[in-house]
Amino acid sequence: MVFLTLSCLIRSRGPDRYWKVQELLKNARHFRGRKNRCYTLAVRAVRRAFVYATKGRVLKRHNMRTLWISRIAAATREHNMKYPTLIHNLGKTSIELNRRMLSELAITEPRTFLSLAKVAQARREEGFRAALGDGKEPAGVFSRVVVTH
């Protein structure tokens, strides 16, 4: 823009108010009521929405993990075992599958999950034998950990 006098320049407002308003309103288009049209109301609603989105990113990770855990627990109970024993014994055999992969295996690869449950059960029984037995029997196959970091 060209201003012919200094006072015109000083008194002028920004040239792009329309686009700045639209940039904010595009985040509010799916809201209910006047919040999706009127700038003053939309500003507050959009700020709250962004705050909730920020908090939600932490909650999403939390919720996904609890969902995976409940799914793994359901699948292990089908094989007459409990979730804590599965996780503990898989850790002792250094099978480092995270809960996301375990839940996906439980849904899409049931036989693989059954074999994992059996490995955990075998390691658990070896642990019982080591704790309760005489110490003369050798440690079982799954107790001999191959790789430790």
Partner 1 sequence: MSNFSRSAQQWATFARSWFLIDARMQPPGKIATMCAVRLKGKHKPIYHALSDCGDHVVVMNTRHIAFSGNKWEQKVYSSHGGYPGTFKQVTAAQLHHKDPKAELPEDILANLTEELPQPRDIPRTLSQYTQEEKDAFPRLWT
Nearest CB to partner 1, comparing residues 83 and 142: 83
Point out which residues bind partner 1 (CB under 8 A).
67, 70-72, 74-75, 77-78, 103, 106-107
Burial of 75 (0-12, 13-18, 19+ CB in 10 A): buried
Residue 97's CB is within 10 A of a number of other CB atoms, namely: 15
Residue 47: both structure tokens together: 């700020």
Considering the complex, what minimum distance in angstroms separates the CB of residue 95 from partner 1?
A: 18
Nearest CB to partner 1, comparing residues 70 and 94: 70
Nearest CB to partner 1, comparing residues 16 and 109: 109
- Measured on CA atoms in the order 18, 19, 23, 28, is the torsion positive or negative? positive
Considering the complex, what minimum distance in angstroms separates the CB of residue 109 from partner 1?
A: 11
